[in-house]
Amino acid sequence: MRKVVVSTGNRGKFEEIKEIVREVLNAESIMATDLFHDYRGVNEGDDYFTNALLKASVLAVHSDIPVLAEDSGLEIPCLGDAPGPHSSRLGGSSATDEDKIRLILEKMKSAEDRQARYICTAVLMDHRGRYVRGYGTVEGVIAKEKKGEKGFGYDPIFYYPLAGKTFAEMEAPEKNAVSHRRKAIEALAEKIKKVNFWNM
């Protein structure tokens, strides 16, 4: 089975991506921190694609195994599409997921328009810097209170109307089937076929 290095130190995110990669790319995933023990991530900017490309490139030059990196975020139109690419950094570097959720709910306390979307851009890069990318999005609503204990990040307040529950209330296979990461990696898979990435 092919292998990819997933450029993340977030165990929850890795477990989610690992299953999607297995199903969509028919590949085995290795977490970046398991292969590169001094991996500390990168300083991210204001653009999903640029961030994903940077995350991939810092590892790909040191790896014989292609590197899969993604950058994702929660966009809320009534907040000017914030927190967007800054989703993981909302509230500062020491803020927990609970802190970030509390900040969002406070900002939206009186909001009538609670539309939201998860965005993901994924990049697969080899050691020579050649890459393919994919994009995915999923529409939802910000719940008025957190529900569910599964998932991670903003999942407890991201309500998915088609399922009638938040992402944090969904079992992993159910969420993975519709998530923004799934859609981005599926788009990536189409690009891989077109350029015959594995044999470039």
The Cα 91–Cα 87 span in angstroms is 9
Q: Which of 64, 71, 81, 155 is catalytic?
A: 71
Q: What is the pLDDT of residue 200?
A: 66
pTM of the model: 0.93
Domain ranges for the chain: 2-199
DSSP annotation of 156 reads G
Which residues are CB-contacts of 93 (< 8 A; sequence separation ≥ 6)? none
Q: Alpha-carbon distance 160 to 177, whole Å?
A: 13
What is the arithmetic mean of pLDDT over 126-138?
Answer: 96
Q: How do residues 22-46 score in pLDDT, each as one tens digit? A: 999 999 999 998 888 777 777 777 8
Confidence tier at 73 by pLDDT (50, 70, 90): very high
Q: Number of helices and strands (H, E) in the chain?
A: 6, 8
Q: State whether CATH 3.90.950.10 applies to domain 2-199.
A: yes
**Any catalytic annotation for residue 71?**
yes
Average pLDDT score over residue span 169-196: 95
Given a cut of 90, whether residue 141 has pLDDT beyond it is yes
The 3-class SS string of 36-60 reads CCCCCCCCCCCCHHHHHHHHHHHHH
